[in-house]
């Protein structure tokens, strides 16, 4: 259909299991244009989240627009992409099991890796490919979060991403008809580049069916009555939410708040894993001193500045300008280093933050 919506017959066929069996196979000719429209509407709703998530992850400005979603096959799609591409295969293993991958040009992969690693003229070695795979994994995570919210399917899970730089003929594209989403991605001040997301027939059919399935409306509880008769004022008793059928006010009790403390609960400890790949600036401070402006202006080559540290006294180790440890200066080959001799206690760190 031209407007991308499924007919009732198509929805009934999908919900009856003709398009997305649990085995992840496809018995028909593959996907349909109706499924492409449903998936396009969903992916467009995630573009802002994708842009924000990847921008935070890379520390740069990344904008996703689109995508445009269509049905295609291997031969037709290969005519649209360059001879050498970067492929990140990240199949769905549960929820909507089946084939799923991202494709991008070499230049796009290099741009992402350079932005993540903060270095120019990067080559697509094993380290760079792992960075690209991690970026795609972040994109899929955002997608799954939105998909679970819209469909109620909490079992959606991806396989570990596998990133390779290969000739386009070696790309592991699905057989038959499949769905391709073409994003325009602007990274920093560079011209928009293409990233293609491929959904195999089983994944596309199951996703479209689940997104089209009617969602149950939330139930309403309490003593509110709706329908005929004069409208009730919720502030004046009659029909008050949480009251009773006779308009009597509800029982009100003070809220009991738990005591606040600085200890991390199990949930906080589990969420720390989300921050493990974040870069932090670590510096070593030999010492400090204060000088008048006139003294600073008279400095020249050979000027000796006396610091507030005694010879042999431990130096300060700071992360993002916060003291976390102390240590002693050592020489490793021809480079300076610091051997940690003392870790600052959490209480001291919290007092410094205050």
Peptide bond between residue 77 and the one before it cis (omega within 30 degrees of 0): no
- pLDDT for the residue numbered 199: 94
Residue 55 lies in a domain: yes
Domain C-terminal end among 163, 192, 212: 212
Residues 47 and 170 in one domain: yes
Count Cβ atoms within 10 A of the Cβ of residue 186 and give its class: 0-12 exposed, 13-18 middle, 19 or more buried: middle
Q: Mean pLDDT in the chain?
A: 76
The verdict on residue 100 lying in a domain is yes
Chosen domain end from 154, 179, 212 = 212
Q: What pLDDT shows up at residue 273?
A: 67
- 160 and 59 co-located in one domain: yes
Residue pLDDT, tens place only, 103-122: 999 988 888 888 887 777 78
Assess if residue 231 is contained within a domain: no
169 lies in the same domain as 52: yes
Same domain, 191 and 69: yes
Is the pLDDT score of 298 beyond 90? no
Residues 118 and 21 in one domain: yes
Q: Please, are residues 105 and 127 in contact by the beta-carbon 8 Å criterion?
A: no
Contacts of 12 (CB under 8 A, 6+ apart): none
Q: Are strands 178-187 and 193-199 parallel, antiparallel or unpaired?
A: antiparallel
Q: Report the percentage of the chain scoring pLDDT > 70.
A: 72
Could you tell me if 183 and 106 are in contact, meaning their C-beta atoms sit under 8 angstroms apart? no
pLDDT of res. 236: 43
Judge contact between 134 and 277, C-beta under 8 A. Answer: yes
**Pair 286, 156 in one domain:** no
Kindly state whether residues 30 and 151 are assigned to the same domain.
yes
What mean pLDDT is predicted for residues 212-225? 53
User: Tell me, what's the pLDDT at 353?
Assistant: 56
The verdict on residue 170 lying in a domain is yes
Residue 241 lies in a domain: no
CATH number at residue 20: 3.40.1550.10
Residues 193 and 285 in one domain: no
SS3 (DSSP) at 346: helix
53 vs 140: CA distance, rounded Å: 11
Instruction: State the pLDDT at residue 250.
Output: 61
Domain boundary among 196, 212, 228: 212
In a domain, 3, yes or no: no
Confidence of residue 93 (pLDDT cuts 50, 70, 90): very high
Domain that holds residue 305: 280-353
Q: Which two tokens stand for residue 62?
A: 């990344």
Instruction: Name beta bridge partners: 165.
Output: 86
203 in the same domain as 100: yes
Q: Is the pLDDT of residue 51 over 50?
A: yes
Domain-located, residue 2: no
Q: Give me the CATH number covering residue 288.
A: 2.30.330.10
pLDDT of residue 100: 95
Q: Determine the Cα–Cα distance for residues 113 and 115; give it in Å rounded to an integer.
A: 5
Is residue 338 in a domain?
A: yes
Number of structural domains in the chain: 2
Give the integer Cα–Cα distance in Å for 330 and 340.
10
Do residues 170 and 285 both lie within one domain? Answer: no
- Binned at pLDDT 50, 70 and 90, residue 223 comes out as very low
Residue 256 has pLDDT above 70, yes or no: no
């Amino acid at each position: 259909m031209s407007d991308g919506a499924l007919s009732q017959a198509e929805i009934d066929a999908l919900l009856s299991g003709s398009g997305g069996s649990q085995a992840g196979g496809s018995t028909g000719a593959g996907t349909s244009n109706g499924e492409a429209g449903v998936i396009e509407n969903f992916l467009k709703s995630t573009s802002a989240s994708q842009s924000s998530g990847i921008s935070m992850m890379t520390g740069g400005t990344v904008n996703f627009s689109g995508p445009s979603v269509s049905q295609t096959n291997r031969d037709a799609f290969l005519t649209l992409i360059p001879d050498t591409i970067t492929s990140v295969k990240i199949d769905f293993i549960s929820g909507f099991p089946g084939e799923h991958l991202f494709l991008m040009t070499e230049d796009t992969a290099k741009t992402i890796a350079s932005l993540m690693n903060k270095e120019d003229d990067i080559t697509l070695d094993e380290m760079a490919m792992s960075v690209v795979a991690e970026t795609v994994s972040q994109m899929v995570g955002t997608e799954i979060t939105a998909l679970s919210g819209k469909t109620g399917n909490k079992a959606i899970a991806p396989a570990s991403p596998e990133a390779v730089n290969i000739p386009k003929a070696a790309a592991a594209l699905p057989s038959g008809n499949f769905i391709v989403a073409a994003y325009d991605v602007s990274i920093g001040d560079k011209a928009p580049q293409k990233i293609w997301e491929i959904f195999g027939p089983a994944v596309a059919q199951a996703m479209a069916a689940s997104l089209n399935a009617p969602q149950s409306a939330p139930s309403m509880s309490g003593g509110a009555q709706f329908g005929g008769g004069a409208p009730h004022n919720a502030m004046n008793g009659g029909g008050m939410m949480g009251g009773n059928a006779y308009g009597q006010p509800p029982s009100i009790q003070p809220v009991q708040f738990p005591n606040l403390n600085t200890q991390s609960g199990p949930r906080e400890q589990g969420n720390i894993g989300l921050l493990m790949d974040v870069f932090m600036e670590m510096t070593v401070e030999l010492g400090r001193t204060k000088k008048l402006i006139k003294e600073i202006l008279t400095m020249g080559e050979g000027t000796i500045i006396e610091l507030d540290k005694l010879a042999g006294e431990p130096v300060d180790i700071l992360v993002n300008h916060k003291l976390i440890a102390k240590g002693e200066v050592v020489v490793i080959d021809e480079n300076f280093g610091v051997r940690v001799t003392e870790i600052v206690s959490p209480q001291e760190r919290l007092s410094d933050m205050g």
